[in-house]
Chains A and B, each alone.
Chain A
Amino acid sequence: DAGITQSPRHKVTETGTPVTLRCHQTENHRYMYWYRQDPGHGLRLIHYSYGVKDTDKGEVSDGYSVSRSKTEDFLLTLESATSSQTSVYFCAISASGKGSEAFFGQGTRLTVV
């Protein structure tokens, strides 16, 4: 299995609080991604990174920010959590992006109450 660790695996938080999810990889892959998975929607891209300090928005980026200060770590921050951000969040990594497969972490289940 690809070395991807997401933390925490489960979190319950209150509306309006900031939340940070962490993705750590040991594969030295260039690309890292954050997706959210919701019933009936499949997986939707939130943000991705193509190198240290190089990030770009995905399909559902509103209300989220990301940072990548080291190759191995990619952080996803919910600035002020809302109930609509209750979801399962997956981190993925890819060696080169174009055409190369992505490997996924085990996911973080976030509940905003």
Chain B
Amino acid sequence: AQSVTQLGSHVSVSEGALVLLRCNYSSSVPPYLFWYVQYPNQGLQLLLKYTSAATLVKGINGFEAEFKKSETSFHLTKPSAHMSDAAEYFCAVIPSGYSTLTFGKGTMLLVSP
């Protein structure tokens, strides 16, 4: 079965620092990949998605992610963290030929002043 691994349940950064959230997937065939963000007591909001058109994907709020097939990774980055980025981030995958999302366990991003 397809799986998604997010390294680190919590990541802490200072405001203005680089944000790096890690995601690895297990698949021999590149799947569709997504990053979602969840603010407290809200639903999930799509940040960006990879669908094989380009390996570097730009999303909302200054986030981007790079698909690396050789590393089976899809890490999320943002050059400069803002206090408003504090939230939980989920990596998710739809395996090729399937129609359901499988989620990682999430990474809580904490941003300190």
* Chain A residues at the B interface, C-beta cutoff of 8 Å: 31, 33, 35, 40-45, 48, 50, 58, 90, 92, 94, 96-99, 101-107
**A42 & B46 in contact (Cβ 8 Å cutoff):** no
Contact of B98 with A98 in the complex, beta carbons under 8 Å: yes
Tell me the complex Cα distance, A99–B106, Å: 21
Q: Are A104 and B101 in contact (CB under 8 A)?
A: no
B44 close to A45 (CB less than 8 A): no
Is the interface on chain B under 10, 10 to 19, 20 to 34, or 35 or more residues? 20 to 34
Instruction: Say yes or no: B97 contacts A42, CB within 8 Å.
Output: no
- Residue on A nearest B90 in the bound complex, by CB: A42
**Nearest CB on B from A112, distance (A):** 20
Cβ-closest chain B residue relative to A109: B41
Task: Produce 1/0 per residue, B21-58, CB < 8 A to A.
Answer: 00000000000101010000111111001010000000
Set A43, A90, A99, A106: member contacting B32, Cβ < 8 A: A99
> Residues of B contacting A45 with CB < 8 Å?
100-102
Number of residue pairs A-B, CB distance < 8 angstroms: 58
Question: Which B34-84 residues have C-beta < 8 A from chain A?
Answer: 34, 36, 41-46, 49, 51
The secondary-structure label for the interface of chain B is: loop
Complex partner residue of A97 from B43, B90, B99, CB under 8 angstroms? B99
Partner of A42, one of B32, B49, B51, B104: B104
**Shortest beta-carbon distance from A111 to chain B in Å:** 15
Beta-carbon contact of A40 and B105 below 8 Å: yes
B49 and A106 within 8 A (CB): no
With CB as the reference atom, state the residue of chain A lying closest to B107. Answer: A42
Measured between alpha carbons, how far is A97 from B9 in the docked complex, in Å?
28
**Residues of B with C-beta under 8 A to A97:** 94, 98-100
A90 and B100 contact, Cβ closer than 8 Å, known pairs A98-B94, A99-B32: no
Q: Could you list some 8 contacts between A and B, CB below 8 A?
A: A33-B100, A42-B105, A43-B44, A44-B103, A48-B100, A50-B99, A92-B101, A107-B41
Query: CB distance B103 to A43 under 8 Å?
Result: yes
Knowing A42-B104, A42-B105, A98-B94, the reply to whether A104 touches B99 (Cβ < 8 A) is no
Q: Which residues from chain A contact B32 at a C-beta distance below 8 Å?
A: 98-99
